[in-house]
Amino acid sequence: MREHPSPAPHPKNPTVDLGQGSLAKPLLEARGLTKKFPGVTALRDVAFDLRPGEIHALCGENGAGKSTLIKLLAGIHPHGSYEGELRVDDRAVAFHSVRDAEGAGLAVITQEFALIEELSVAENIFLGRAPRCGPGGLRVDWLEMHRLAAVLLADFGLALAPETPVRELGIGQKQLVEIVRAIDKKSRVLVLDEPTAALTGQEVAVLLEHLRRLRTQGTACIYISHKLDEVFALADRITVLRDGASITTLATRDTTIPAVIKHMVGREITDLFPRRASSAGDATPPSRRPEPPILSVRSLTAASGKNAPPFLRDLSFDLHAGEVLGFGGLMGAGRTELLLHLFGAWGHRVSGEVTLSGQPFPSPTPRDAIARGLALVTEDRKRYGLILPQPIGFNLSLSSLARFTRADGFLDAPAEYLANQHFFSSLRIKAPDQHARVAGLSGGNQQKVVLGKALMTGPTVVLLDEPTRGIDVGAKLEVYELINRLTAEGQAVILVSSELPELMGLSDRILMLAAGRIGGEFTRAEFSQEKLLAAAMGRRAAAAANDQGPRTNAQ
């Protein structure tokens, strides 16, 4: 594992000294919380307290109970559905609904998006509290609402028109709009469940800056993240949950990242990016080997529609068996669009050619793509990756049903069951059994189901879009090992990741995309965060961005 320097001391909060076991009374306190779901005890006897003006991080592996804890605080799991006590300002409270919690000054942003897709960005930000005008304040003051929204968005560095319907936003932008809304409500306590999972560098920096600013104004914050460097840059204290129990609460300045990881997983993790077999044992990188590439892309230009500006411009690259080809770039650079396009799920090909295993691969449908050996792991698992109300097994085999269909047209249920069982246990999905509904799984375990679904199709090329988003260190390691196993078996992987250490740790080569073009290509020896970022933001990219026109889709 990389060495983490111990964190720099925090800018002192002017009003509350959190370092010396502050005497400030907790603003919010949880005592003896126990929450049971059928077959799972999500929280057992959890203790937690939040002081005024502190940022308190919750850390723990997938399924540790972090989201469940904040759902109790948010009134989503109402009073009476759990044991234990919640106290605000030293008084016992009973939240029966989200409204009750909001009334007590808590604003909670959950892992599930809570925006209304059909409304505009401004309408979502001011939902239920739109500025009014006219006699008796009966009319919504649209002008004022749009003006206020524009100010808030600009303050967050979001280049979004307030009138944009939320359904047109990508996942990262939605996340930011939710945060803007919650922050603008001026709540006493802001609760953020993995707010940066869908954000890239610049947005994360802006968000962290805002949270620090809010802290100086006295707002307290509960912050859940699997990104420990972020936690250490931000939090005053850290509470670690493991298997539903609160293990410890530490002052950030008195601990280290490895120590927190150890509390989280109950063991030490020594190698965060296990060296890949191909790079360790074999001196010739896959891209230099004589065999023809598995996937070849030439001068690919693609747009979302006939008259839309292209989201990919003149892209050419090869992917070889056993290779992990990383794609980096800023949000909106076209990485997700590229994967979706290769998979036949997005856009229209303006020009260029794609060859798969030596055969032409003209504009496919996702069904063709799967049949030809392509698998896609989407970045937006809830929207595109899973059927949430259905069981784990149902989701795992969803893309492989053709394989389990017998000659008479019926499903070979025992074979399907066995295959599901194989992936359920080899991916170590945490649930009572494969019949559990996906909706009840923690975020990381849902991600494993999406991975399992892709792998079951037996792909030769796996397209991974942010495959470790929202999953814990232990599970990340499992995904990394899985990638190594795939490439050792001769499969090829395209990896999109916004986390540069991950991208550099896993890729054989990295292509940086900037405004739909390749802004730079790097081999392992050339990897460095500075070079990659420079390529992502290069001058050429900036020039291209200017003539890109309005953003159209998902990223």
Binding partner at 441 among ligand ATP, Mg ion, none, C-beta below 5 to 8 Å by kind: ligand ATP
- Give the nearer residue to ligand ATP in terms of CB position, either 79 or 253: 79
Token pair listed for 77: 């799991």
Q: In what order do the strands lie in the sheet with 28-37?
A: 40-50, 28-37, 83-88, 91-93
Asked if 67 is part of the footprint of Mg ion (rule: CB under 5 A), the reply reads yes
* d(C-alpha 67, C-alpha 146), whole Å: 33
CB closest to Mg ion, residue no: 67
Cβ-Cβ contacts under 8 Å for 457 (sequence gap 6 or more):
370, 375, 399, 400, 403
Q: C-beta of 330: minimal distance to ligand ATP in Å?
A: 26
Q: C-beta of 250: minimal distance to Mg ion in Å?
A: 20
- Give the nearer residue to ligand ATP in terms of CB position, either 349 or 437: 437
Cβ-Cβ contacts under 8 Å for 210 (sequence gap 6 or more):
156, 179, 183
Q: What DSSP element (H or E) covers 121?
A: helix 121-125
* d(C-alpha 58, C-alpha 66), whole Å: 7
- Give the nearer residue to ligand ATP in terms of CB position, either 64 or 493: 64
Q: C-beta of 194: minimal distance to Mg ion in Å?
A: 7
DSSP 145: H
Q: How many CB atoms lie within 10 A of CB 285?
A: 17
Token pair listed for 304: 């979302």
- Give the nearer residue to Mg ion in terms of CB position, either 153 or 228: 228
Q: What DSSP element (H or E) covers 324?
A: strand 324-329
Binding partner at 170 among ligand ATP, Mg ion, none, C-beta below 5 to 8 Å by kind: none
Binding partner at 399 among ligand ATP, Mg ion, none, C-beta below 5 to 8 Å by kind: none
- Give the nearer residue to ligand ATP in terms of CB position, either 64 or 176: 64
- Give the nearer residue to ligand ATP in terms of CB position, either 441 or 510: 441
Token pair listed for 219: 């707002």
Question: In whole angstroms, what separates CA 425 from the centre of its chain?
Answer: 24
CA distances from 439 to 124, 202, 242 (A): 25, 31, 21
- Give the nearer residue to ligand ATP in terms of CB position, either 462 or 471: 471
Q: C-beta of 490: minimal distance to ligand ATP in Å?
A: 31
Binding partner at 42 among ligand ATP, Mg ion, none, C-beta below 5 to 8 Å by kind: ligand ATP
Q: How many residues bind Mg ion (CB under 5 A)?
A: 2
* d(C-alpha 496, C-alpha 507), whole Å: 10
Binding partner at 68 among Mg ion, ligand ATP, none, C-beta below 5 to 8 Å by kind: ligand ATP
Answer for the pair 476, 499: CB distance below 8 angstroms, yes or no.
no
Tell me the backbone φ, ψ of residue 463, rounded to 5 degrees: -100, 115
- Give the nearer residue to ligand ATP in terms of CB position, either 326 or 443: 443
Binding partner at 328 among Mg ion, ligand ATP, none, C-beta below 5 to 8 Å by kind: none
> Cα angle vertex 250, ends 246, 253, to 5°?
160
Q: C-beta of 414: minimal distance to Mg ion in Å?
A: 34
Q: C-beta of 315: minimal distance to Mg ion in Å?
A: 36
Q: C-beta of 441: minimal distance to ligand ATP in Å?
A: 5
Which x/- pattern, by CB under 5 A, does the window 427-446 give for Mg ion?
A: ----------------x---
Token pair listed for 485: 């196993």
Binding partner at 440 among Mg ion, ligand ATP, none, C-beta below 5 to 8 Å by kind: ligand ATP
Q: C-beta of 65: minimal distance to Mg ion in Å?
A: 8
Tell me the backbone φ, ψ of residue 57, rounded to 5 degrees: -90, 145
Q: C-beta of 443: minimal distance to Mg ion in Å?
A: 5
Helix (H, G, I), strand (E, B) or coil at 171: helix
**Side-chain half-sphere exposure of 461, counting CA atoms within 13 A:** 22
Of residues 76 through 105, those in contact with Mg ion by CB under 5 A are none
- Give the nearer residue to ligand ATP in terms of CB position, either 62 or 378: 62
* d(C-alpha 265, C-alpha 257), whole Å: 12
Contact residues toward ligand ATP (CB under 6 A) are 37, 40, 42, 60, 62-68, 430, 440-444, 472
Q: C-beta of 33: minimal distance to Mg ion in Å?
A: 16
- Give the nearer residue to Mg ion in terms of CB position, either 329 or 443: 443
Residues forming contacts to Mg ion in the complex (CB under 5 A) are: 67, 443
